[in-house]
Amino acid sequence: MVLTLILFVSGFVLLIAGAHALVNGASSIGTRLKISQMIMGLTVVALGTSLPELIVNIFASFAGNSDLAIGNVLGSNITNTLLVVGTAAVIMPVSMSRQTLKRDIPFSLFVLVILFLLANDSIFGRPDSINRMDGLILLLLMGVFMYILFTNKKEDDLLKDIEVKMLSVPISILYIVGGSISLYYGGKWVVDGALVVAKGMGISETAMGLTLVSGATSLPEWVTSILAARKKNADMALGNAIGSNILNVLLVLGVTALIRPVTYSANLNIEVGLVFLSGLMLLLFAYTGKIKNQLNRLEGVLLILLYIAFIYFSVSFQ
């Protein structure tokens, strides 16, 4: 049991470090091959923030632990919107760009509506699940989202968000290989440990995914938001959080369902509703606050308090 716990904690460290190394190595190689910074920004760098969730879900899916997989995605999205954005706003009021208000947040809400319709098959007289066809639909929607980004975001704007660390070719390859190995073992240890911890604490796999696993896999976004806010770039934290939420549903859950259909409990509609509600709250704060298009410190505190309430509810009632 002690060894399992050590590997469980070590798994999160390997996941985060592996994702960081893989992104740095791939970005460096891409730059040397003169691949467009826009393409790298919308693929390697953007997808890198969802790598921990993706790897955990792949292992959970192969192991048949769909409750952990779906809990991880929904929990990560709730963590991103309430804790990550809330923390950034407490440190520094978050300005919301036009594209975030008019494109990103509405698209993230649209994605949740699609997820609700795909998962709740009981509406059509079938058992609730996210099957392989649903997974394919989610991945196709991810393609649509990427196309929208390609056609609407200028390369100069994207360059401001990307810091490519130039490495030698051998070091870049070492980063990629080492990062991939770290992701493999990190994901395996996290999933194996999560099942043991959940059993020991007497909570469900779903609750484990919604709280501890999702919180840990969202650490990169949380740390990034704190650093961005301290540098007075809190708006980057919002953009990264919303983008990560979209990719978690479309990419992470899409790939998970393709590997193995995900059993879905109607109880999870509460979590889907909470993610949807938190997105609506961001829009409400933007249009009704004293300063338009801004999330202030008080609103950030409210988001964090809602996150604490969510953790309590998940552990107590799931």
Domains of the chain, first to last = 2-317 (1.20.1420.30)
Give the global pTM: 0.85
pLDDT at 163: 57
Considering only CA atoms, which of 237, 309, 280 is closest in space to residue 113?
Answer: 280
Lookup: tokens for 178: 């080492």
What's 94's DSSP letter? E
- Going from the first residue of the chain to its last (318 residues), give the mean pLDDT of each consecutive group of 10, the final group possibly shorter: 79 84 79 66 64 86 84 92 91 83 90 94 83 95 85 54 67 87 87 83 83 83 75 72 89 92 89 93 85 87 94 78
Question: Which ranges of the chain would DSSP assign to H, the alpha helix?
Answer: 2-32, 37-40, 46-48, 51-62, 66-78, 85-91, 98-99, 105-119, 132-152, 155-161, 169-201, 205-208, 214-217, 219-230, 234-247, 253-259, 269-288, 297-317
Considering only CA atoms, which of 57, 55, 50 is closest in space to residue 71?
Answer: 57
Beta-strand relationship, 129-130 and 262-263: antiparallel
Lookup: tokens for 55: 């790897």
Sorted by sequence, the CB contacts under 8 Å of residue 38 that are 6+ apart come out as: 150, 153, 155, 158
Spatial distance between the Cα atoms of 247 and 42, rounded to a whole number of angstroms = 11
Helices 169-201 & 51-62 angle (0-180, nearest 10): 60
Tell the residue number behind the tokens 């790939």, with chain if given.
Answer: 255
Q: Are the CB atoms for 52 and 19 separated by under 8 Å?
A: yes
pLDDT at 159: 44
Instruction: State the Cα torsion 12-16-19-23 to the nearest 10°.
Output: 180
Q: Are the CB atoms for 195 and 68 separated by under 8 Å?
A: yes
For residues 80-115, one letter each, b for 16 or more C-beta atoms within 10 angstroms of the residue's C-beta and e for the rest, the string is bbbbbbbbbbbbbbbbbeeebbebbbebbbebbeeb
pLDDT at 256: 92
pLDDT at 158: 47
Tell the residue number behind the tokens 């130039």, with chain if given.
Answer: 166
Spatial distance between the Cα atoms of 213 and 52, rounded to a whole number of angstroms = 10
Spatial distance between the Cα atoms of 116 and 257, rounded to a whole number of angstroms = 14
